[in-house]
Amino acid sequence: THKIILDTDPGIDDAMAIFFAFQSPEIEVLGLTTVFGNVPVSMAAQNGLSLCELAEVDIPVCKGVAMPWVGPESKYAHFVHGDDGFGNINHPAPVGKIDPRSSAEFIVEMARKYPSEITIVAVGPLGNLALALRLEPNLPKLIKSVNIMGGAAFVAGNVTPVAEANIWNDAFAAEIVLAADWEVNMFGLDVTYDLPFQPDFTSILAEKNPTLGGFVKKAAEFYTEFYSKGKETEQCYFHDAFPLAYMIDPSLFEMTAGNVRVSTDKLNQGQTSFAPYGTTASPDWLEASSVNFATKVDHPRLTELFINRYAL
Ligand code: BDR
Ligand code: CA
């Protein structure tokens, strides 16, 4: 099994991804580390705990970074995920307690406990990982790999024409994380926007798994309304589950290795410019961070995997 720490800002697609991880025997979730993003960090932590309680999974849920590395407080995505981060469904508050360790402290502690065993799956802004790198500069040697939902290699952004939300939300942190010397696999809008899900998909999840799938179906109604504006068919996207699916079955994806740069300037904030190896001879680019970017995904097989896992 793969030991992971799931770094998240729940969030509706985060919720769907968290349950997908819990339902997958190949994946052992050591804890949830939460970060501001879709919602403020205290809500992200409470939501993470609610999801664990609903799934009856007893793991630490930590609260992390509340603001971007540089600049003013973030604009949260309540218009995408609802006032509660769950599509305004009045889900009861959790009864348990948030872990006293910060998200960054938890990452460092686990990395020291299980050297080279842990993959960090980051599906929110990257502030917790950047802070963990500051707490423990040796972290890249202690971590197996970092799988990120974020960025856009060859397609447009979703917050601005060039930037994807997780990277845009904390571009300086993203730059720190990508510059560190560890294996990074990125799952951005090239693959996640390539696979829209119609409401019949969440109905199947609910049918197979009334508790977890039922929650996702209910929460996704508001989210689907947002994503369907101006479209002919009702649909939404489950971005955050993609880096987890890669851990279960890497053959679902085509990965392209290359160099990446994150823009921190105001206008292009959070842009991920990507040069596959061999496509640029510029010396600056040859020094840029190395990543594997997901550039293609097998739709039918990924959809089937989600459904099978919810059904377990
Ligand atoms: C990402 O931004 C958030 O709204 C989603 O949860 C996902 O992590 C998609 O750009
Ligand atoms: Ca997210």
Dihedral in degrees, nearest 10, Cα atoms 236, 242, 243, 249 = 170
Give the model confidence (pLDDT) of 175-186 as tens digits: 999 999 999 999
Ligand lying closest to the C-alpha of residue 242: 1
Based on the number of CB atoms within 10 Å of its own CB, is 180 exposed (0-12), middle (13-18) or buried (19 or more)? middle
pLDDT beyond 80 at 142: yes
Any ligand 1 atom below 6 A from CB of 170: no
Q: State if pTM tops 0.95.
A: yes
Give the model confidence (pLDDT) of 262-310 as tens digits: 999 999 999 999 999 999 888 888 888 999 999 999 999 999 999 999 9
Of the residues 13, 43, 226, 237, which should be mutated to test ligand 1's pocket, given the most ligand atoms within 8 Å of the CB? 13
Is 239 assigned a catalytic role?
yes
Any ligand 1 atom below 6 A from CB of 80: yes
Cβ–Cβ < 8 Å for 153, 193: no
pLDDT of residue 281: 84
Is 78 assigned a catalytic role?
no
pLDDT of residue 260: 96
pLDDT of residue 82: 95
pLDDT of residue 68: 97
Q: What is the mean pLDDT of the chain?
A: 96
98-108 average pLDDT score: 98
Tokens of 59: 């793991």
Give the model confidence (pLDDT) of 53-100 as tens digits: 999 999 999 999 999 999 887 789 999 999 999 999 999 999 999 999
pLDDT beyond 90 at 200: yes
Residue 229's CB is within 10 A of a number of other CB atoms, namely 6
135-149 average pLDDT score: 98
pLDDT of residue 104: 98
Write down the catalytic residue from 9, 84, 170, 190: 9
**Cα(124) to centroid(ligand 2), Å:** 4
pLDDT beyond 90 at 23: yes
pLDDT of residue 72: 82
Residue type for position 141: K
14-33 average pLDDT score: 98
pLDDT beyond 90 at 250: yes
Residue type for position 252: L
pLDDT beyond 80 at 312: no
Of the residues 7, 8, 9, which should be mutated to test ligand 1's pocket, given the most ligand atoms within 8 Å of the CB? 9
Any ligand 1 atom below 6 A from CB of 77: yes
pLDDT of residue 74: 78
